[in-house]
Amino acid sequence: MSKKKIATVWLDGCSGCHMSFLDMDERLLALAGAADLVYSPLVDAKEFPPDVDVTLVEGAVSSEEDLRKINMIRERTKILVSLGDCAVTANVPGMRNPFGTKAVYDRAYRENVTFDPGVPDQVVPALLPTSRPVHEFVKVDIYIPGCPPSADNIYYAVTELLEGRTPDLTLKTRFGS
Amino acid sequence: MSPVATVKTLKIDGRDVSGRQEETILDVARQNGIFIPRLCEMDGLSDVGACRLCLVEIKGQNKLLPACVTVVEEGMEVTTGSERLNNYRRMILELLFTERNHVCSVCVSNGHCEMQMLAQRLGITHVHFPYRYPKEEVDASHERFVIDHNRCILCTRCLRVCDEIEGAHTWDIMGRGIDAKVITDLNESWGTSETCTSCGKCVQVCPTGALFEKGRSVAEMMKRRQFLPYLTMMREENE
Amino acid sequence: MTPEELDQIAEDERAEQGKYTERVNVCVAAGCLSCQSQSVKDALDQEVGSRGTKDRCQVKGVGCMGLCSEGPLVSTSNGILYKKVEAADSPAVLDSLAGEPVARLVCPTDVPFFQRQKKIVLENSGVIDPERIEDYIAANGYTALIKALTEMSQREVIDEVTKSGLRGRGGAGYPTGLKWSTVSKSVGAQKYVICNADEGDPGAFMDRSVLESDPHRVLEGMLIAGYAVGASEAYIYVRAEYPLAIKRLRNAIRQAERVGLLGSNICGTRFSFRVDLRLGAGAFVCGEETALIASVEGKRGTPRPRPPYPAMEGLFGKPTLINNVETYANIAPIIRNGGEWYAQVGTEKSKGTKVFALAGRVENTGLVEVPMGISLREMVFEIGGGIPEGRKFKAVQTGGPSGGCLPTDCLDMPVDYESLARAGSIMGSGGMIVMDESSCMVDVAKYFMDFCMTESCGKCIPCRVGTFQMRRILEAIGNMTATEQDLKLLEELCELLKHTSLCGLGQSAPNPVLSTLRSFAEEYRAHIQEHKCPAGVCGQPAGETL
Amino acid sequence: MVSYVAKPVAPSQDKRWKLVDATIRRQGAQPRGLIEALHTVQEAFGYLDVQALRYVAMSLRVPLSRAFGVATFYHFFTLKPAGEHTCVICMGTACYIKGAPQLLDAVRKDLGIAPGETTPDKKVSLLTARCLGSCGLAPAVVYDQEVAGKVSTAAVREHLKKWTVA
C-alpha cells in the first residue's frame, strides 16, 4: 500500500492550530511513517497536489484568495477537515463581520499607520464582505472544533482517517476548548 | 391529606419513578439523576418554557411537551433523549449560535458556559445554518458588571431573578422577535439605572458570558449559583 | 330592562320606520367610506331635505353590503342595488324610487355573488343602522338574550350551542359548546369573557365588517356567553387599526348600558355583565389566546405554555372564555332558532355558515357568507366571478400566515375545517386570497415568512431564529442564489418549527412554505436550478402597478 | 396599598396630560392599564417619549423597564415624532399580490426614506401596515387617516407631491 498524502492549509487564522499540530511532537514521526505531508505551511511545497487524501484546514475564509484556495483544495482532496474554531465557526476572524470591511481597512491601513496611510489595491487580496466558516463555501467532511484543538485530538483524528475510519470527536472537544 | 394520595408513579426513559402531583417532569427527572437539557429553566425561578430544549416525548401524545412546566401524571411514559429530540435540540442550539456573536475562544465564560457545554454534550461539532453576525453592543457603564449583548440568548433568567428574587425589576425585554434585547430601565445604560441595586444576581444566573463581573478575562468568569436555592428556602421559612 | 320594555322599543322603532314609504340605505362600513360613501349619504340627505320628502323617505347609513370592490353601494326600498354611486347621483337615485332604476348604476343582484350566500352572521349587515340600538332591537335584536335569561338555564344555553355544532371561527375550529362547558365548570367566583377582535391575518376583514355593521350582535353573543359560563366581566380586544369598529363598539356599549342590557341585574335577573374595550397595538401574536390575555393585562403580548388553559387560568389567573367575533355573532341566532336549526346548514363536522373575505386576483372582491362545505371552485368562479383579464387561476390562499396555498386540483374540495387541514391549509379566520399566474409562489411564501418573522414575539428560540433563517433562505431562492442544500435546510427548519415552537404562530409558520413546496415544487426548482422565476416576479426591478 | 413612591408630577403644564391622567384614573392606577395609557399618550402627543413613559410607568406602578418593553413590543406605538403627514402603505396579502411592493418602492424612491422613517424636513412619515382590512380595495394606502383604495404608483406619487411641494 502506498503512503497516504496529507496536507495542511492556513487560511484566516492565527497559526495556533498549526502550532498544536506540531505539538504532536514525537507522534509526528509515527505519522510520517504512515503518510507524507505533501503541502503545508510547514513544508516547502509550492503547488497543492491533485490527489490529497486528507487536508486539514486552519482558518476562516476571509478573502478572495482564501475562497479561491479552498475551492481548489476541495477539488483536489478526498477528505477535507475543518481544523479549529476559525475554520469551523469563523471565530475571531468573524468578529469583524458586524462592522463591515471598511472599518477593518481603515483600522489596519489608515488609523494605525503613520507612513503613507492608504488601502493597498495590489498584492493584498481583497476581503470578502464577511469572514465565514469553511463549510459555508465547500463541503467539509470532518470538524475538529477547539481553539486550538489539542495535539491529542488532531493525532486521534488524523490516525483514524488514515486507517479509513471516521473519527468521532463529539465528546472530545468543543468550541473554544 | 395522606402523602400517598398525591404521589404519581410514572416511567422516565423506561425507569419507574415517582413524584408529587405538582411536580414537573423535570423535577422528577432531576431527583432521579436523569439529565434533560435546558437553558431558560433554573431551579428557584419561575418557569417560562421558552428555550424548548427540555421538550420530551410522552407516549400517546402527539405533541412534544416542555418538561419544565409539564406536571407528572399517573402512568405517564416519558422519553427524554430520543434521536429525534436530540436532533431538534441540536438545531435549536445551532440557531442560538447563529443568532448573535458567540465566540467561545475569547469569552469570559469559556469552559463554564451552559450553552457551550450543552452543545458539546449533544455532539455539536459545527453549526450548519449560516451565522447572522449582527452588530450588538457591550455596556460596561456599571461600575462592577458588564453586559455583552453578543452573548445574550434571551433566556430571561436575569429578568426573573431581578423581578422575583431581588424585587427590583430593573431588567426587561424590549422589541420583539429577532430584534428583542434585554434592557435596564428605559433602555438606559446600566450604570445610570435608578432601580438597579447592584446585587449582581443577574450576573450569577446568566447561563453564558453575556453578564459578567468586571476584571474577568477569558475563561475566568465562574458563576456562583448556591445563593438562589438558599434565598428561596429562607424566603419560604419566613412566610 | 324587562322583556316587555324590549318589545316596546322594537314596536316603537318598527312603527317609526313604518312611517317611511321609501328608503335609501347607504353603506357606511369602512370599505365604502373610503370610496366617499359619507358624502353620498350627505348628498342624499340634503336632496331629500330640499325635496321636502323627509317624512316619507328615509336615508339610512347601514353596514357592509359585501361587494366592496363596487362601492360605494346604495340599496333602495324598491329592491335595487346601486354601485359606484357618487354624490352627484343622488337626485337620480331618489327619482328612481318611484320610477325606473338608474341603469348606469345598477348592480345586478341575481348573480351568484348574492344568490349563493346564506346570511346568518351578516343577516343585519347592510340592513340596519349600526349606530342605533333601536334598529337592532327592531330586527329581533336582544330577544335571544332575553330568552336565555328568562327561559333557559345556563346548562340549556350551553347545550343549545353544543347542539348547533358551532366551532370556533377564529381559525382552529375548537367546538364552542365544549369550550363554554369547560369554563362553566371551572371553579371561581370571578370569571371573564373575552372577545378576540384582533383580526390579525393579513387579507381578512370579516370581523372588522361585523363590528362595523352589527356591533350589538357581538355584544349579545358575549352577554349570552357570560350568562352561560357565569362571568360578569368582559373585554373586547380590538385592533387599534380599526378606528371605525372601535367607535361603533364604544357607541354600542354605551347604548346597551343606557337601556339596561349591560350593567347590573339585567332583565331583573341576578345576571350582571360589564363590557370594556381593550385596544390591540399591532401584534399579530396577540391573536393567540395566552398572548391576548397578557396584552389585556397590560403586558407584552407573549404566549405562555398551555396547560393551564385559559378556561382554567386565564385573565388575571381566573377562568376565561375567549371566542372570536364571528363565533359570538353566531350565538344570538342559535339561541333564537335553536341549535338544530343551525346544524342543518353545513357539513357533518363543520356546521353553519362561514364569512369569507374574498380578495386578490378575483373579479368580485368583498365579504360573503356561505354554507360550510361549498366548494372552492364555487367560491372563486361563481361567487368570485372568476379571474379578471382572462388570466389563469393559480392558487387560493386561506388561513393567512398559518395557512396554505391551495392549487387547481383542490378546487373541487369542500370548504370545511377537515378538508382544508388535509390539503395542508387551515380554515383560519376566513381570509381567502385568489392568486393567478402573475403571482410567484416562492415570493408568496417569502411574503408570509417575512410576516411571521416580523410578528414573532421572540420568546422561544425556534420561532425567533428559525423564522429569520427561513426567510433568509426564501430570499436567497428569490434572488436565484440558493442551492439544493438551502432547500434542505428550509425543509429541516419547517419540521423544527412545527414541532418545537411554543405557540401556534411558530408551529404554523412553516405552512405557507410546506404547502407551496408540495404543490408548486417546480417553481422552487426553476428558481434554484434554472435561476428563473416562471411568474416573472422575483429578481425583477419593481415596475409600475395597474 | 401604601404608596412608597410619590405620585409623579406631569412632565409639563401641557393640557394633554389631563387626558392621560383621566385614562390612568379610569384604570385605577393599576399596572394593567399600561397599554390603554400608552394609547392615550400616543393619541394626544403623536408618540411616546422617555419622559412620557416614565410618567405613565410611575403613575401605574409599572417597572420602568417593563413600560419600555411594552412600548417597543407593539408596533402601533412609536417612540419618534411623526412628520406633518403620514403615508401608510398596506402590506396585507391582497395588497401585496396586487402591487403594494411596487407602491412602496416608488414611495421609498421619491421620499428617499425607508418605512418607519420621516423625511429630514419632517414633512412626511412613511409607514407600512400589516393589513388594514381594506382587502376588497387592494392595494390600499392611508393618507393622513384617509383610506384610498385601488391605488396606482402614479396616484401615490401624485398625492405625495402635494405634500412635499410647499
- Name the CATH code of domain D85-164 (choices 1.20.1530.20, 3.30.1950.10, 3.40.50.2300, 3.40.30.10): 3.40.30.10
Considering only CA atoms, which of C268, C250, C288, C12 is closest in space to residue C149?
C268
Contacts of D53 in chain B (CB under 8 A): 186
In this predicted structure, the answer to whether residue A1 has a pLDDT above a threshold of 80 is: no
Is the CB of residue C546 less than 8 Å from the CB of residue C523?
Answer: no
Q: Which residues of C touch B67 (CB under 8 A)?
A: none
Phi and psi at C161, nearest 5°, equal -65, -40
Closest approach of chain D CAs to the CA of B170, in angstroms?
6
Which residue is closest to D50 within chain B, CA to CA? B186
Decide if A100 touches B, using CB distance below 8 A.
no
In chain B the domains, ranked by start, together with CATH numbers, are 3-81 (3.10.20.740), 104-225 (3.30.70.20)
Determine the structural domain holding residue C37 and report its residue range.
Answer: 18-113
- Return the ∠ at Cα D4 (arms to D6 and D36), rounded to 5°: 65
Q: Quote the pLDDT of residue C257.
A: 97
Radius of gyration of chain C (CA): 24
Closest to B49 (Cβ–Cβ): which among C453, C458, C502? C502
Query: Residues C414, C455: one domain?
Result: no
Indicate which CATH number applies to the domain containing C227. 3.40.50.11540
> Does any CB of chain C come closer than 8 Å to the CB of residue D126?
no
Chain B hits for A57, CB-CB cut-off 8 Å, are none
In a domain, C130, yes or no: no
For the four alpha carbons of A36, A38, A41 and A42, in that order, the dihedral sign comes to positive
- Is D65 close to B194, i.e. CB distance below 8 A? no
Nearest to B169 among D50, D65, D72 (CB): D65
Cα–Cα distance for residue pair C431/B215, rounded to 1 Å: 57
C-alpha closest to that of D118 among D83, D93, D84: D83
Mean per-residue pLDDT over chain A, rounded: 96
Q: Distance from C444 to chain B by nearest Cα, in Å?
A: 21
Task: For residues B130-143, give the mean pLDDT.
Answer: 97
pLDDT of residue C171: 81
Q: Is A135 exposed, middle or buried (0-12, 13-18, 19+ CB in 10 A)?
A: buried
- In this structure, are C414 and C472 located in the same domain? no
Answer for the pair D66, D57: CB distance below 8 angstroms, yes or no. yes
User: Measured in Å, how far apart are chain D's first and last C-alpha atoms?
Assistant: 56
The helix (run of H) or strand (run of E) holding residue B96 is helix B83-99
CA atoms within 13 A on the CB side of B217: 0
How many domains does the structure of chain C reveal?
Answer: 4
- State mean pLDDT over B85-92: 98
Residue A147 forms contact with B (CB below 8 Å): yes
Confidence of residue C17 (pLDDT cuts 50, 70, 90): very high
Three-class SS of residue C98? helix
What chain A holds in terms of domains, given with CATH numbers, is 4-93+129-162 (3.40.50.700)
pLDDT band at C544 (very low <50, low <70, confident <90, very high): very low
Confidence of residue D4 (pLDDT cuts 50, 70, 90): low
**Span C304-340, pLDDT tens digits:** 999 999 999 999 999 999 999 999 999 999 999 999 9
- Domain co-membership, C419 together with C456: no
Q: Are D and A neighbours with ≥3 CB pairs closer than 8 A?
A: no
User: pLDDT of B72-86, one tens digit each?
Assistant: 999 999 999 999 999
- Predicted confidence at residue D125, as pLDDT, reads 94
pLDDT tens for each residue of D23-45? 999 999 999 999 999 999 999 99
Distance CA B143, CA B113 (A): 23
Per the CB < 8 A criterion, the answer to whether C158 and C181 are in contact is yes
- State the number of CA atoms in the 13 A half-sphere of C457 facing the CB: 29
Q: Is B215 exposed, middle or buried, given 0-12, 13-18 or 19+ CB atoms closer than 10 A?
A: exposed
Q: Are C299 and C291 in contact (CB under 8 A)?
A: no
Q: Report the chain C residue with the minimal C-alpha distance to residue B173.
A: C300
Cβ separation D50–B185 shorter than 8 A: no
Chain B residues whose C-beta sits inside 8 Å of any chain C C-beta: 48-52, 55, 63-64, 66, 69, 88, 91-92, 95-96, 98-99, 128-130, 132, 153-154, 173, 175-180
CB contact under 8 A, C447 and D93: yes
**Cβ distance of C451 and D130 shorter than 8 Å:** yes
In a domain, C133, yes or no: no
pLDDT in tens, A119-158: 888 889 999 999 999 999 999 999 999 999 999 999 999 9
For residue C543, what pLDDT is reported? 42
From chain B, the residues in CB contact with A101 under 8 A are none
| A147, A174, A177, best to mutate vs chain B, most B CBs in 10 Å | A174
Best interface-test mutation with A: which of B106, B116, B120, B208 has the largest number of A CBs within 10 A?
Answer: B120
* Residue C373: all three cell numbers together: 362545505
CA distances to B45, B175, C150, D13 from C300, rounded to whole Å, are 19, 10, 41, 30
Closest-CA distance, D54 to chain B, in angstroms, reads: 8
Interchain proximity A145–B125, CB inside 8 Å:
yes
Strand partners, C356: C368
pLDDT digits (tens, 9 = 90+) for C1-14: 788 999 999 999 99
Domain containing residue C408: CATH number = 3.10.20.600
Interatomic CA distance for residues A37 and A54, integer angstroms:
10
The secondary structure of residue B75, as a DSSP letter, is T
pLDDT at D15: 95
Same domain, yes or no, for C385 and C500? no
Residue C177: inside a domain? yes
For C45, other C-beta atoms within 10 Å of its C-beta total: 16
pTM: 0.95
Do C400 and C517 fall into the same domain?
no
- Gap between the Cα atoms of B126 and C219, Å rounded: 56
Strands (E), B13-75: 15-20, 55-58, 65-66
Q: Which of C182-186, D96-100, D133-137 tops mean pLDDT? A: C182-186
* Cα B179 to the center of its chain, rounded Å: 20
Residue for grid cell 491601513: A109
Q: Are residues C325 and C367 in the same domain?
A: no
pLDDT in tens, A53-84: 999 999 999 999 999 999 999 999 999 999 99
Output the pLDDT for position B4.
53
- The angle that helices D100-111 and D153-164 make with each other, rounded to 10 degrees, is 30
**C427 shares its domain with C448:** no
Rg for chain A (alpha carbons), in Å? Answer: 17
Is residue C134 in some structural domain?
A: no
CB–CB contact C208 D130 (8 Å): no
Contacts of D62 in chain C (CB under 8 A): 298
Tell the residue number behind the cell numbers 421620499, with chain if given.
D111
pLDDT band at D2 (very low <50, low <70, confident <90, very high): low
Given an 8 Å threshold on Cβ–Cβ distance, is D136 in contact with C68? Answer: yes
Cell of A122: 495590489
Last residue of a domain, one of C343, C368, C402: C343
Q: Which residue of B has its CA nearest to D67?
A: B186
CA D71 to chain centroid, in Å, comes to 11
| C123 domain residue, yes or no | no
HEC-encoded secondary structure of C160-213 = HHHHHCCECCCCCCCEHHHHHHHHHHCCCCCCEEEEEECCCCCCCCHHHHHHHH
Distance from C-alpha of C276 to C-alpha of C278, rounded to nearest angstrom: 7
Whether residue C73 is found in the same domain as residue C179: no
Cβ contact, residue pair B195, D50, below 8 Å: no
Which of C438, C426, C435 shows the shortest CA–CA distance to C401?
A: C426
Whether the per-residue pLDDT at D5 is higher than 70: the answer is no
Q: Does residue B3 carry a pLDDT above 60?
A: no
Q: How far is D114 from chain C (nearest CA, A)?
A: 16
Q: Among partner residues C203, C240, C542, which is closest to D39 by beta-carbon distance?
A: C240
pLDDT in tens, C349-362: 999 999 999 999 99
- D105 interfacial to chain C (CB closer than 8 Å): yes
- Which pLDDT belongs to residue D3? 58
If DSSP states are collapsed to H, E and C, what string results for chain D? CCCCCCCCCCCCCCCHHHHHHHHHHHCCCCHHHHHHHHHHHHHHHCCCCHHHHHHHHHHHCCCHHHHHHHHHHCCCCCCCCCCCEEEEEECCHHHHHCCHHHHHHHHHHHHCCCCCCECCCCCEEEEEECCCCCHHHCCCEEECCEEECCCCHHHHHHHHHHHHCC
Cα separation of B96 and B74, whole Å?
35
Nearest residue on chain B to C500, judged by CA atoms? B52
Where does B26-70 show beta strands of DSSP type E? 55-58, 65-66
Gap between the Cα atoms of C232 and C222, Å rounded: 10
Distance CA D37, CA D53 (A): 10
Q: Which residues neighbour C439 within 8 Å (Cβ) at sequence distance 6 or greater?
A: C361, C394, C395, C535, C537, D97
Cα atoms found within 13 Å of the Cα of residue C18, Cβ hemisphere only? 7
D54 to chain B: nearest residue by CA? B186
Residues whose CB falls within 8 Å of the CB of residue C119, separated by 6 or more in sequence, listed in order: C125, C353, C369
Q: Is the pLDDT of residue B1 over 60?
A: no
pLDDT at C240: 93
CA distance B129 to chain A (A): 9
Q: Which chains touch A (3 or more CB pairs under 8 A)?
A: B
- C402-411 average pLDDT score: 95
pLDDT band for C200, please (50, 70, 90 cuts).
confident
Does the ipTM exceed 0.90? yes
For residue C542, the tally of other CB atoms under 10 A from its CB is: 16
- Among B170, B175, B176, the residue with its CB nearest the CB of D65 is B170
| Contact between C425 and C398 (Cβ < 8 Å) | yes
Peptide bond into A129 cis (omega under 30): no
Q: Which residues contact A150 (CB under 8 A, 6 or more apart)?
A: A20, A23, A173, A177
Is the Cβ–Cβ distance between A26 and A52 less than 8 Å? no
Q: Reply yes or no on whether the pLDDT at C50 is more than 90.
A: yes
* B93 pLDDT above the threshold of 60: yes
**Residue D10 touches chain C, beta carbons under 8 Å:** no
The per-residue pLDDT for range B36-70, each reduced to its tens digit, is 999 999 999 999 999 999 999 999 999 999 999 99
CA–CA separation, C516 and B68 (whole Å): 35
Task: Provide the pLDDT confidence category of residue C203 given band limits of 50, 70 and 90.
Answer: confident
Percent of chain C at pLDDT > 90 equals: 94
| CB nearest B126 (choices: A95, A97, A135) | A135
- DSSP bridge partners of C393: C436
Strand C192-197 with C233-238, pairing: parallel
Lowest mean per-residue pLDDT among C129-133, C204-208, C469-473: C204-208
Residue count (chain A): 177
C350/C416 Cα distance (integer angstroms)? 6
Grid coordinates representing C251 are: 357607541
pLDDT tens for each residue of C466-519: 999 999 999 999 999 999 999 999 999 999 999 999 999 999 999 999 999 999
Residues C238 and C323 in one domain: yes
* Gap between the Cα atoms of B234 and C8, Å rounded: 66
Mean local confidence (pLDDT), A88-92: 97
pLDDT tens digits along D147-158: 999 999 999 999
Cross-strand partners of C60: C25
Cβ–Cβ gap B195/D66 under 8 Å: no
Domain boundaries of chain D, sorted by first residue: 16-73, 85-164
| Record: contact C204-D132, CB cut-off 8 A | no
**Per-residue pLDDT for C541 more than 80?**
no
> Whole-number mean pLDDT of chain C?
95
* Residue C288 sits in the same domain as residue C148: yes
Coarse DSSP helix, strand, coil percentages of chain C, rounded to the nearest 5 percent: 50, 15, 35
Task: Tell me: do C335 and C466 sit in the same domain.
Answer: no
Based on the fold, state whether residues C231 and C181 are members of the same structural domain: yes
Give the best residue of C465, C489, C492, C501 to mutate against chain B (max B CB count within 10 A). Answer: C465
Instruction: Using the predicted structure, report yes or no on whether residue D1 has a pLDDT greater than 60.
Output: no
> What is the CB neighbour count within 10 angstroms for residue B41?
26
